[in-house]
Copies of this chain bind each other. A is one copy, B any other.
Amino acid sequence: MYAVTTIRSAAAPKKFEVTCSSCNLRELCLPQGLGATDIARFENVVYARRRIKRGEALFAAGDEFKAVYSVRSGFFKTSLVDGEGREQVTGFFMGGELLGMDGIGAARYNSAAIALEDSEVCILPYALIEQLAAEVPSLQRRLYAVLSREIARDHGVMMLLGSMRAEERLATFLLNLSKRFTARGYSPSDFHLRMTREELGSYLGLKLETVSRLFSRFHDDGLIEVQQKHVRILDAAGLEQILATRH
């Protein structure tokens, strides 16, 4: 286990006064549910942030696992590349969501995290978090819960990829995105997609042309407005209806 000072000097990113207690993403982020005293201890461990420009990697698959990251602003994709060069986008991440947890088990990141817009993350040095979790039961519980929810989330994606037709996949994705934007105080119906059609296609198990055609079809059906990356949901109930339609 590293000493705090060692890690600080080794990583040496911009040092900020990190104050989770006043962060508006607090309730979506790791310290959710912690009391004032525990949050203070937590802030002491989360001592820095890091900026990542669009297109840059926060970490790559195979990199040594040292920290988990919480998205403070911006947008990320995570993706996996197999031995044959196939890329699979495994998720999209926005404010308050945690990145890198799949690296704990193997001490190396299992996937890569790429910023899809200029972004900023809070660095959560894993050794310190782990140590603190052993002392603070509410943090320990929260950490297990976050890992477990990630598993449940992945199962949802497996359902999407394994059992849904193309238009159900896109409808599910749009509704999910809408919900997450809402939780962050943004419009539930009006947003800018940060990923390309190809990245979205990879995530949904579809080719980019298919994604593009689906957007056009949803548009023609009056469900959404699309203009390149800008999407406006006109008929959320209609999108839900797609999921209810017998297949």
Contacts and interface: CB of A to CB of B under 8 A. Distances in A.
Copies of this polypeptide in the complex: 2
Given A104-B144, A148-B102, A162 B84 contact: no
Interface residue range, chain A:
35 or more
A86 B155 CA distance: 13
B106 A163 contact: no
A187 to B, nearest CB: 25
A185 interface: no
> Main SS of chain A's interface residues?
helix
A152 B106 contact: yes
B134 A130 contact: no
Given A134-B134, A137-B134, A150 B151 contact: yes
A17 interface: no
Contact of A149 (B82, B105, B144): B105
Interface of A: 80, 82-84, 86-90, 101-106, 110-111, 130, 133-134, 137, 140-141, 143-152, 154-159, 161-164, 202-205, 243-244, 247
